Amino acid sequence: MTKILLLSDTHSYIDDAILKHVKQADEVWHAGDIGDIAVTDAIKVLKPLRAVYGNIDGKEIRAEFPEHNRFKCEDVEVWITHIGGYPPKYNSRVAEKIKENPPRLFICGHSHILKVMPDKKLNLLHMNPGAVGKHGFHKSRTMLRFTIDGKKIENLEVIEFDKR
């Protein structure tokens, strides 16, 4: 079983409250708009990190992280990208590829809106953890925590912080 902490849209913000949850995870996944490399450096000191760059990220972050990160966690194929859309209206950057070869778990950020929903047609689960940074229009700062156990995605929890 692997305990995952999923966050996005930090926009250069990291604090002890976020890092407390990082310490409790086995892996941390960041779905883009990191903002400052210090954010991912702080996470990597504590736990393994998988991340993608977002539309606000500059050269330093783009040099370290890809636009798309597709990998396997236990028996679950995962695809993380920053701008991906939602079932069934995927962003044009990913629409054809996701239909040709859907992952079991599709993760994106960008919207600052927490959303978890199935795509029954493609047999995948979509997750967007919302935004945990303090920049943007969101009213609440959120992250997701869940486990992957073999083929099962379980124990999904929303972590919500005080209003920004």
List pLDDT tens digits, range 110-151: 999 999 999 999 999 999 999 998 877 777 899 999 999 999
pLDDT for res 138:
74
Inter-residue contact 124 to 90 (CB < 8 Å)? no
164: pLDDT strictly greater than 90? no
- How much is the pTM? 0.95
Determine contact, residues 22/14, Cβ cutoff 8 Å: no
Distance of alpha carbon 75 from alpha carbon 86, whole angstroms? 23
Tokens of 11: 């926009």
Q: What is the per-residue pLDDT for 163?
A: 65
- The first and second tokens of residue 17, run together, are 């409250």
129 contacts 108 by C-beta, under 8 angstroms: no
State the CB neighbour count (10 A cutoff) for residue 135. 16
